[in-house]
Amino acid sequence: KQEVTQIPAALSVPEGENLVLNCSFTDSAIYNLQWFRQDPGKGLTSLLLIQSSQREQTSGRLNASLDKSSGRSTLYIAASQPGDSATYLCATGANSKLTFGKGITLSVRP
């Protein structure tokens, strides 16, 4: 059974800092890995989707990498802003089903 872990559970950084959010998973037989953003009381917004054959994806200030062999993914956020404050979840996909981590709650201080 796939297990997805995100550590730490919470992170607080000053505005402007570059930061890396980590995600690890136990079963490397995945179709893809996805990073989501969730604001309090809201649904999920997809940030980046990496297919299993890919190593990374980029969108604006975000870059996500995938290393299937080591069971790891990272989400890099450049020049963080207070508006980036949210919970970031990673999820692995297999057979159309997603397995989620508990998320990392990020707070960017002005």
Partner 1 sequence: GAVVSQHPSRVICKSGTSVKIECRSLDFQATTMFWYRQFPKKSLMLMATSNEGSKATYEQGVEKDKFLINHASLTLSTLTVTSAHPEDSSFYICSAIYSSGRASEQYFGPGTRLTVT
The binding site for partner 1 (CB under 8 A) comprises 4, 9, 34, 36, 41-46, 49, 51, 89, 91, 93, 96-103
Least Å from the CB of residue 15 to partner 1: 25
Alpha-carbon dihedral sign for residues 75, 5, 103, 50: positive
Measure the CA–CA gap between 71 and 52, rounded to whole angstroms.
11
Cβ 22 vs Cβ 35: under 8 Å: no
Measure the CA–CA gap between 100 and 25, rounded to whole angstroms.
10
Which residue lies nearer to partner 1 by CB, 3 or 17?
3
Least Å from the CB of residue 101 to partner 1: 6
Which residue lies nearer to partner 1 by CB, 18 or 107?
107
Measure the CA–CA gap between 71 and 15, rounded to whole angstroms.
30
Least Å from the CB of residue 18 to partner 1: 26
Which residue lies nearer to partner 1 by CB, 18 or 51?
51
